Structures are given as structure tokens and as C-alpha cells.
Structure 1
Amino acid sequence: MLQEQDRRDHTPTEKELAEAKKYSWVRIPQFDYTSSGRLRIILSGGQPHRASEWADTADRTLEDQLAEIVQEVDLRGEAAERKRLADLEAAQQKRLRWEAAMQQARIAYAESYRVKHLEAQAEAWRHATSLSEYLSAIRLQTEELPAGQTKDHAETWTRWADAHLQRLNPVNTPPRLPKIPEPRPEDLKPFLHGWSPYGPSY
């Protein structure tokens, strides 16, 4: 709420003229303002329905407009409450969609981890198979060696290599599903299709 002012042309005083002549930075005002005794109400914020400003006029006083002002405040308040509730509902729905996306991302992450584990086992099996062929060739060569220190060293080496191969080859242990580690937020990003792993608002 503010009081309106009347404006009229300013008549410079002798002092103002003298100071303006003496100092280049002095500016003489163009208008004079005086209190009018008329009030103005400005309503800001919210969604306007009818108006945002009311003032005393020659044909209508501010008091005569109070019912309209109060109604405008009520309408804006009701609209703001509807928007607040709609925003809460939208945020709740967004959170539910994010939680569903996170659940699907965890499932996809686990599946991806199992696939990588399977591929790593297959690669370990190929490596073990290659080493097994190599050891077979070494055994044949060792059998042809004459008895002595060289043959003893070769047999010691092949025994160690056999034991190592038994540990290395994944088919020597019963297969089972790998234990899925708890994913970090960055691990889930590739499976979230644009959602952030840190929350629905990020």
C-alpha cells in the first residue's frame, strides 16, 4: 500500500541556479512531488484473476473496492494452494518413477555383472585350455629326458604347473551365480536412461 503523489513542474530557485552554474554535477529537478492523500494498493505474487492494482479515483474510493481486493486475495490464495498440491503430487509421481527406474537399473546392473563374470570365466577357460596343451607338450618332452637333475627340475616344474592349472581352470569348480557387489551410483548410470542415481531432482 502506498500514497500517490502529485507532480508539477519545478521552478528553480536562485540557489539552485547558482549551484548549477558553479558545479557541473548539480542537476536541477524537473518536477516537484507532493503527497496527494490518495492511496493505492498493489497486490504482487500469485496468479492474477481480475487486477493487481486498486487506487482512489474521482468516481470510486479505495474503500468501495475492498470487497474486490479481498476476493482477489482469496482467488490467488486458492490458486496458490492448488498449485502447491499439484506440485506435491507431481514431485511424488516423479519420485515413484525414479524409484522404479532405480529398481530396474539394479536388475540390469546385476544382469550385466553376471554376463561379464560369464565372459571372464570363458576367457579363463580358453587360457587354461591353451596352457593345458602347452603342458602336454612339456610332459612329452620331459618323458624323453634322461634321468638326472634336468629331468627332476622339469618334473617339479610340470607338477607345479599342473596344480596351478587346476586352480586356474573354472570348470574344475562347480559353477554358481556370482555374488553381485553393491553398485555405486556411477555403476547404475548406464542403466537409468537419463535419470540421476542421486535422486529424482538431480
Structure 2
Amino acid sequence: MGFLVLQEQDRTEHVATQKELAAAKKDSWVRIPRFDHTPSERLRFVLSGGQPHRASEWADTPGHSLEEQLAEIAQEVTLRGEAAERRRQDEIEAARQKRIRWEAAMEEARIRYAEVYRIRHLEAQEAAWHHATRLTEYVSAVRARVEAMPSGQARIDAEAWISWAATTVEHLDPLSSPPRLPDVPEPRADDLRPFLGHWSPYGPTS
């Protein structure tokens, strides 16, 4: 809150001096003031900021001095301070609740991200299994053809290829080892964004 104390002024009719009259007569742009303003013994107190309750200004009046209004001024300051503190506490609580909701959304996003990652891994394994199955059938067909070949260098080279191909297909086949859940990598902010709705992955206020 801001506090401002002003000294009020009295206004009286201005009596032009001979010098002013002569100057106005000589130059048309000269203006003689209508009133004189002199400092008075009256004060005005102005309170700014906060939420007003009763008033924002108090002044000396003929029947009510500023000193007599100090209790009312102090009460107004107290009420505005209490209101400001309530707003501050409400804002802190609102921010806390918002962070709780954001943290819950982030946790749900991490769960959904992990599930999607596992599904994609499963789909990749299924595709690899089909690929390995087709390659296995192909290698079997080649083996049957090579077994009918006569002995010689060509058959030796073909059998070497079959041995390499069979080993390679075994490595490609996901069923060659027991299945296990994949290790889900730590998600980046952009990885979680599709699962957060209106929330930002960078914080509840972003």
C-alpha cells in the first residue's frame, strides 16, 4: 500500500497589481491569474493499493480533524492488509493444487507412454517373427535344393551360405530367446506431450 500526505491550499480572488495590469495591456498573451493559492494548515491523507473497504482519502474538515480519523485510517490499513494476505494464501493454495494436478497428469502420461512403448515393441517383435519365419522357409527351401546337388565346390559354398543364413535367421527370430518386458527409456518432454492434454511437460505454469 502507498501512503501520501498532502497539504491543502486555500484559494482566494487574485488582486491584480499595477505591474500585471501594465504587462497585460502591453502584451495580449499575458494572462492575469484569477485566484491565488496559499498553503493551509489542513492536511489530506491518501491511501492507495490493496482492496478498499471504507475509504481511500481522509482530510481535515471544520468539524472533523484528521487526527480524529487516525483510528479509521489504521483500521482501513489493517483490513486491506488482511485481505491482501488472504489473497496471497489463496494464490499459494491454488498454485499448490495446480501443481498436484500437474504432477498427477505427468505420472499418468508416463504410464501411458510406457504402455505405448511396450505395444510398439510387441508389434516390432511380431513383425520380426514374421520376417524370420519367411526367411526360415526360404533357407529350408534352399537346403532341400542343395541336398540334391552333386558333391563339389558349388555344394560346399552353398552349404556354407546355408550355415550363415540359418545362424542369421536365428538371431533375427525374437522367439530364439525367452520373451521379457522391454526396458522403457526415460521419456523426454516431447515424448510425454501427446499424453498431457492441455498441460505442459515443463511445469504447471508453462
Normalised by the shorter chain, which TM-score bucket?
Answer: 0.7 to 0.9
Distance 1:138 1:164 in 2: 15
Q: How does 1:80-91 map to 2 (within 5 A)?
A: 80-91=84-95
Distance 1:46 1:110 in 2: 49
Worse overlay, 54-63 or 115-124 = 54-63
Deviation at 1:117, TM superposition (A): 0.9
Distance 2:158 2:48 in 1: 93
Distance 2:106 2:163 in 1: 50
Q: Point out where structure 2 has 5 or more consecutive residues left out of the alignment.
A: none
Distance 1:167 1:145 in 2: 28
Distance 1:19 1:167 in 2: 108
Distance 1:152 1:20 in 2: 124
The correspondence for 2:98, drawn from 94, 97, 109, is: 94
Q: How does 1:13-162 map to 2 (within 5 A)?
A: 34-162=38-166
Deviations 1:160-198 (A, max 9, x none): 110010011001110111112222222222222222222
Aligned length: 197
Q: How does 1:2-17 map to 2 (within 5 A)?
A: 2-6=6-10
Q: Point out where structure 1 has 5 or more consecutive residues left out of the alignment.
A: 22-26
Identify if the C-alpha distance between structure 1 residues 36 and 144 changes in structure 2 by more than 3 Å, giving closer, same or farther: farther
Instruction: For 2:44, give the aligned amino acid.
Output: R
Deviation at 1:138, TM superposition (A): 2.1
Q: TM-score, normalised by structure 1?
A: 0.82
- In structure 1, the residue matched to 2:189 is 185
Deviation at 1:122, TM superposition (A): 0.7
Distance 1:119 1:85 in 2: 51
Of all paired residues, the percent bearing the same amino acid is: 58
Distance 1:9 1:162 in 2: 116
Task: Give the secondary-structure state (helix, strand or coil) at the position aligned to 1:43.
Answer: strand
Deviations 1:27-73 (A, max 9, x none): 97978654334322211111111111122233432222212111111
Q: TM-score, normalised by structure 2?
A: 0.81
Task: Give the secondary-structure state (helix, strand or coil) at the position aligned to 2:204.
Answer: coil
Aligned-CA RMSD value: 2.9
